[in-house]
Each structure stands twice: as structure tokens, then as C-alpha cells.
Amino acid sequence: MDESAPRQKQILYFGDPMCSWCWGFAPVLEQISRLCAGRAKLHLIMGGLRPGSVVPWDEGLRSSIRHHWQSVSDASGQPFDFARFDDQQFIYDTEPACRALVSVRNVEPNKSLAMFEALQRSFYAEDLDITQTNVLSEIAESVGVDKSVFLNLFNHHDTQSLTNGDFVRTRNFGVQGFPSILCQDGETILVLTSGYQSYSALVPQLEEWLNA
């Protein structure tokens, strides 16, 4: 190891494919990724918005989530298909989608961001049920990951453990909401954002940190 080599800065993004504000933030994350290319390493960490849910959403939850989707649409301009709310038997379990991202991150890390965006777009804009394994495997294939490789990883207990590890890491960093971005330089951590913000609001502080 070359100890004289400069330490690489880390951008830690905490989110969930089924978090509507994360979908609103998707274009901002893409811009941040381009800005940081070659200057800091971007890591996607799955926070687990509603992992392990086992019962269909009730009227109160549907109403609350629909309100959030509308707010995100108004604030970000991102597309939403509200037909999902017609399915009263839908179970809002975000663990499978998070595990799908972890699966791709482990086999094709350079495709993590594309997978995250594809998961979000499939759920929010195309009304696909990304709690279903067959849907997740098709999304993985769409970003260039072999379907059989993905399924082997997705169904492996090690991947389940790694996904739970993401959830634990999110709690250990004290993340309270999604999306959140922490900028790490050695032992120093800067909270860039905790919640949705525009790129223009974030870029001055991010540029200052990158150039420090």
C-alpha cells in the first residue's frame, strides 16, 4: 500500500428505492455523481424505509403515501403513476428492492446507480411491483446484469445479511430520513443533506468540500 497516496473522499448516500423523496432526488443524485467522478467515491447505502412489512396497506397509509407522492411530484417534477393506489392488497415491503440493489452493487458496482434509478422509475413512473422477484430480475437485466447471476445473489442468505447490514449502518450513522448524504474525509464527516434539496442548493457546499 502506498501510504503517500492521497486518501479518497467518500460520498455516502442513504436511501431506499421505495422512498418517494429519493425518487424526487434522483436527478440531483445523478448530477452529484457526475460532479464527484474522479474526486470522491459514491456509495449507495440502503436505509430500509419499510423492510419486512407483511400486511397490505390500509386506507390511512395509502392516503398518507399518496400525499407524499403528490408533494414530491410538485417539488421535483418527477413523473408518478398513481394507479398503484388502486391495489388495496399491495404490501409496502421495501426489503426486496433494497436487496436487489445490494445484489447488483456486489456483482457490478459500477451499475449500482443505474439499478437504483431503474428500480425507482419502475415503481413510481411505470407502476411495476418491485416487491416481486421476477420484476426485480428483469430490472437487473435491463441495466446489464445477467438474470441468473442476479437471482443467485438475490436469493442467497449472504445478500440478505448484507442488506440488513446496510440497515444497521444507516442507524449507526444516525440517519433520520431519506435521502441523506454524508461526505466523509477520513474521520471527518459533513452532513450535506438530510432530506430532499435541489442541486443548486447543495452544489456550493459540495464543491467547497471537494476542493478542500
For residue 212, being part of any structural domain is answered with: no
The CATH number given to whatever domain includes residue 26 is 3.40.30.10
Burial of 212 (0-12, 13-18, 19+ CB in 10 A): exposed
Cβ–Cβ < 8 Å for 195, 180:
yes
For residue 116, being part of any structural domain is answered with: yes
For residue 84, being part of any structural domain is answered with: yes
Using CA atoms, how far apart are residues 45 and 163, in angstroms rounded to an integer? 9
Cβ–Cβ < 8 Å for 103, 90:
no
pLDDT at 8: 86
Question: What residues make up the domain containing 150?
Answer: 9-206
Phi, psi angle pair for 190, to nearest 5°: -110, 130
Short-list 89, 102, 208, 204, CA closest to 163 = 102
Cβ–Cβ < 8 Å for 140, 19:
no
Short-list 197, 168, 157, CA closest to 180 = 197
For residue 4, being part of any structural domain is answered with: no
* pLDDT exceeds cutoff 90 at 6: no
The number of distinct structural domains making up the chain is: 1
Summarised one tens digit per residue, pLDDT across range 82-117 is: 999 999 999 999 999 999 999 999 999 999 999 999
Using CA atoms, how far apart are residues 49 and 66, in angstroms rounded to an integer? 16
Residues 6+ apart with CB under 8 A from 50: 18, 92, 93, 94
User: What are the distances in angstroms from CA 71 to CA 24, 75, 107?
Assistant: 10, 6, 35
For residue 100, being part of any structural domain is answered with: yes
For residue 166, being part of any structural domain is answered with: yes
Q: How big is the chain by its Cα radius of gyration, in Å? A: 17
Summarised one tens digit per residue, pLDDT across range 141-165 is: 999 999 999 999 999 999 999 999 9
For residue 1, being part of any structural domain is answered with: no
The length of the chain, given as a count of residues = 212
Confidence of residue 81 (pLDDT cuts 50, 70, 90): very high
pLDDT at 64: 96
Output the pTM of the full model. Answer: 0.94
For residue 118, being part of any structural domain is answered with: yes
